[in-house]
């Protein structure tokens, strides 16, 4: 079996779902504190009903030892915070502004992996690539010789780092959890944390909201399952390499279906430069 199908499907489905998600969030503004917890609750229900009974959901006995348990609860905490920060910006900004930040996360993952795992340290050129990507990101936000970042985009800086941390921990946990098991348990505990700390007012949800959130949630389940299988079968390098196509697909979808006027030539140039840096980083030994 060609396992490259996993990151490819992850990228295509994830890009389409992101565009649909943005369309929905544009219609129902300032509701992310309700929507995000509900998406995880629905994801857990879909996993339990449609995936766990039919696919491998094994967990090794080593998963219940001290280190894996610490890693797991750190991952859940990081993922909870990261999702809330991401959707705080997602609901307010155009996809053209958000995607240059998100595409920088793979480089951050590579750099962090090099710091944490000695055997995965790359050539110092990777640091140069990270610098080039950072400058491209800054360039995309220069307006009339002034650097301009909307306040709503500030959480995205934290999202980049938290995404890299979560990716590294995920790689470790997949040694002891099957992809289905890891994502199912992850969704359960993230749902629990968000309900406790965010205190969403689910009574404000309409039937239309639940219908759209169910669609979003189901396809994100598919995306994350493919994502975890890709990490397990082909590794971080190829997963992030193929995943680098997502921002381009999202920008095209945003322009065609959302008429996103926030997309500028600077955004496009920044995306091209950052994606080139990410791709180059994958081939440096």
3-state secondary structure of 259: coil
**Beta 142-143 vs 146-147: how paired, if at all?**
antiparallel
Per-residue model confidence (pLDDT) at position 111: 74
- For residues 256 and 4, what is the distance between their CA atoms, to the nearest angstrom? 28
C-alpha dihedral sign at 72, 283, 266, 141: positive
Per-residue model confidence (pLDDT) at position 197: 96
- For residues 129 and 131, what is the distance between their CA atoms, to the nearest angstrom? 5
DSSP assigned state of 147: E
Predicted TM-score of the model (pTM) = 0.85
- For residues 126 and 281, what is the distance between their CA atoms, to the nearest angstrom? 6
List the end-to-end C-alpha distance of the chain, in Å, as a whole number: 26
- For residues 164 and 31, what is the distance between their CA atoms, to the nearest angstrom? 27
Nearest alpha carbon to residue 103 among 268, 224, 259, 257: 268
- For residues 241 and 127, what is the distance between their CA atoms, to the nearest angstrom? 17
Per-residue model confidence (pLDDT) at position 246: 80
Nearest alpha carbon to residue 112 among 269, 246, 240, 276: 240
Cα–Cα distances (Å) from 237 to 59, 132, 141, 175, 192, in that order, read: 25, 20, 29, 17, 32
- Per-residue model confidence as pLDDT tens for the chain (285 residues): 567 789 889 989 999 999 999 999 988 878 899 999 999 999 999 999 999 999 999 999 999 999 999 999 999 999 999 999 999 888 877 776 776 677 677 777 767 776 776 655 555 676 577 667 767 766 765 655 544 556 666 788 889 889 999 999 998 999 999 999 999 999 999 999 999 999 999 999 999 999 999 999 999 999 999 999 998 887 776 787 778 778 777 877 887 888 776 667 776 787 788 788 777 766 765
3-state secondary structure of 143: strand
Cross-strand bridge partners of residue 142: 147
- 162-191 burial, b at 16+ Cβ within 10 Å, e below that, comes to bbbbbbbbbbbbbebbbbbbbbbbbbbbbb
């Amino acid at each position: 079996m060609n396992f490259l199908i996993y990151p490819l499907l992850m990228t295509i489905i994830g890009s389409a779902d992101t565009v649909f998600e943005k369309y929905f969030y544009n219609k129902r503004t300032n509701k992310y504190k309700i929507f995000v917890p509900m998406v995880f609750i629905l994801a857990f229900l879909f996993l339990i009903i449609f995936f766990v009974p039919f696919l491998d959901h094994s967990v090794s006995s080593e998963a219940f030892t001290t280190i894996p348990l610490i890693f797991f609860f750190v991952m859940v905490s990081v993922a909870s915070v990261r999702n809330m920060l991401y959707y705080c910006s997602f609901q307010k900004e155009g996809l053209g502004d958000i995607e240059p930040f998100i595409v920088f996360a793979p480089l951050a993952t590579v750099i962090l992996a090099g710091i944490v795992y000695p055997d995965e340290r790359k050539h110092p050129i990777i640091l140069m690539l990270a610098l080039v990507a950072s400058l491209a990101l800054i360039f995309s936000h220069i307006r009339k010789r002034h650097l301009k970042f909307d306040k709503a985009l500030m959480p995205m800086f934290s999202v980049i780092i938290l995404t890299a941390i979560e990716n590294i921990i995920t790689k470790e946990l997949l040694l002891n959890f099957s992809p289905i098991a890891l994502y199912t348990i992850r969704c359960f505990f993230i749902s629990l944390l968000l309900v406790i700390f965010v205190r969403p007012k689910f009574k404000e949800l309409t039937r239309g909201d639940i219908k759209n959130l169910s669609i979003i949630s189901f396809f994100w389940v598919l995306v994350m399952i493919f994502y975890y299988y890709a990490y397990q079968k082909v590794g971080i390098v190829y997963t992030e390499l193929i995943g680098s196509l997502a921002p381009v697909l999202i920008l095209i979808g945003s322009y065609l279906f959302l008429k996103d006027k926030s997309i500028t030539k600077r955004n496009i140039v920044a995306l091209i430069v950052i994606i080139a840096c990410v791709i180059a980083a994958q081939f440096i030994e």
